[in-house]
Amino acid sequence: MFNTFNMGVGMAVIVSPETADAALSALKAEGIDAYVCGEIVAGEEKVALC
């Protein structure tokens, strides 16, 4: 499947930490299965995939 289809997370919505709970609630109220999948933090100008 990974060779044929994009098996990524789908759509990403970037919001501030202060509004994350409200965004999750609004999406779930519309029947969208939503979850927090990461955070943006200051770093040393590199990308770390975990």
Q: pTM of the predicted model, to two decimals?
A: 0.67
pLDDT (tens digit per residue) in 3-50: 777 777 788 899 999 999 999 999 999 999 999 988 888 878 777 776
User: What number of CA atoms fall less than 13 Å from residue 43's CA on the CB side?
Assistant: 8
Instruction: Write down the pLDDT at residue 41.
Output: 84
- At 49 the pLDDT is 74
* Host H or E run for residue 24: helix 20-29
Domain count within the chain: 1
Look at the chain and count its residues. 50
For residue 40, count other CB atoms closer than 10 A to its CB: 8
Domain that holds residue 31: 1-50
